[in-house]
Structure 1
Amino acid sequence: MNQDTLPHRHNITERPLTAIEARILGSLMEKARTVPDSYPLTLNALSSACNQKSSREPVMQLADALLVEALDELRALNLVFETSGGRVPRYEHNFMRAMGVPEQSAVLLGMLMLRGPQTAGELRLNTERWYKFLDIASVDAFLEELQDRSPEKGGPMVIKLPKAPGAREQRWAHLLCGPLDLAQMANAAAGGSNATEDEVIHLTRRVAALEEQVAVLSDQLQNLHEQLGLSQPGQA
């Protein structure tokens, strides 16, 4: 299908995404920016991206059959395209056009789909490999724009969560999978860690640096296996 003549734009109020669909989209959006040489992704590469242990919240273990089923749904929504021409099919996202959002907003939504609720500061740090925001204020501006989207444009795509006990900053969450149970999330936050905001930021930076190293090595290994025609680690 010609991407310049899409039949319609996806509206999350008509059909929220499933958790698996959101994981697929987030993974495709991540790899398009961090490993463009291996993008679009094969099913094997997409499976590794969706099921990786780092930079994912929650961690998932999705079988290929579930991924194929979800990919078919995303293709019907014009959110994913299948490309041919190689030995195996490859998949690429069409998030910005289908959702009608600018690049910066798509980056933030992609990260929220992959890692769950985050503060504006955490989002700016975690998206550095995707897009370099000027400052936290610019992140907030795009988030507020997504929160204030009119019903004509599909309604809000993110929500600012109530401040967690002991936290200085509020977290943001996406609404692409439908409304959130704020009461349940508040209870979970109240029973969580007593770490201070500074401690969380420090640990976040350390984890982000380690995750980036792991991601680079994982992508290099993925590319090597594909070039050699070998099965992925852990697969028969």
Structure 2
Amino acid sequence: MDQTSAPASRPALRELTALEGRVVAVLLEKQFTVPDTYPLSLNALASGCNQKTARSPVMSVSEDEILTAIDGLKSLSLVFEGSSSRVPRFEQNLGKVLGVPSQSAALLSTLLLRGPQTAAELRLNTARLHAFADISSVEGFLDELAERTPALVVRLPRAPGEREHRWMHLLCGEVSIPESTAAYRSGAESAASPSELEALRISHRALEDKVAKLQALVVEMAGQLGIEVEAGRLE
């Protein structure tokens, strides 16, 4: 994994609007999934922003609204407009501006497009952008993003009924964590002894790895059949 030896420290980027985040993430996604039509035209970009699948939240935005978002992203050098075509086409520059490797850019893009996700979900959902070897590899890059100054992602407390922690990007500002979730996590952990907690963590990681291997097998088989599989369908 081509991580740097220490967390990077870069000037803080202003908070992106939800639509700015969607635009730059769609451009990164389509760069890998439809390379023949990248950079994207405004029409193709609008279709990607308003896509009903693999998006959370689902948006319904106009081309004028997208152009306004593009102007904001241009000022941050996150988006460029190509000049070699009669039809304006746009491309992203997320990785270079943030100073992160392609693996981290893929994770950030997927979080921008789909919202909070577990490491296992991110491994599955980034498969077409980058093929992570295992969940530990995903977690390594997430940890690096979380340790940067300023942090680019945050690990959310595990909510009641959830089996795994979810991660969320911080490109659009701080994430609001419900007090009930934090209180539940605190109470649950204080009720168990350190040895019990460690046993639970080991058991959970073993189960997580088994699930990830099964998910990877399903994705591989689906890919051979030309079928796109979403994480939600495997849970």
**Structure 2 length as normaliser, TM-score?**
0.73
Secondary structure of 1:81's aligned partner:
strand
Q: What does residue range 56-71 of structure 1 map to in structure 2 within 5 Å? A: 56-71=55-70
Per-residue CA distance 1:46-101 (angstroms, 9 max, x = gap): 00000010000000001111000000110110000000222210000001111111
Selected match of 2:171 from 167, 173, 176? 176
1:115 aligns with: 114
What amino acid is aligned across from residue 131 of structure 2 in structure 1? K
Secondary structure of 1:118's aligned partner:
coil
Number of equivalences: 191
What amino acid is aligned across from residue 166 of structure 1 in structure 2? G
Runs of 4 or more above 6 Å deviation = 200-203
| Structure 2 Cα separation of the partners of residues 214 and 120 of structure 1 | 17
Structure 2 residue 35 is the aligned partner of structure 1 residue 36: yes
| Structure 2 Cα separation of the partners of residues 47 and 85 of structure 1 | 21
Structure 2: gaps of 5 or more residues: 1-8, 183-206, 231-235
2:199 aligns with: none
Provide the identity percentage: 51
What amino acid is aligned across from residue 16 of structure 1 in structure 2? E
Q: Is the 8 A contact 1:10 1:77 kept in 2?
A: no
Give the direction of change, closer, same or farther, for the CA distance of 1:176–1:185 in structure 2 (3 Å limit).
farther
Structure 1: gaps of 5 or more residues: 1-8, 188-196, 216-236
| Structure 2 Cα separation of the partners of residues 31 and 113 of structure 1 | 14
**Structure 1 length as normaliser, TM-score?**
0.73
Larger Rg computed on CA atoms: 2
| Structure 1 Cα separation of the partners of residues 35 and 131 of structure 2 | 17
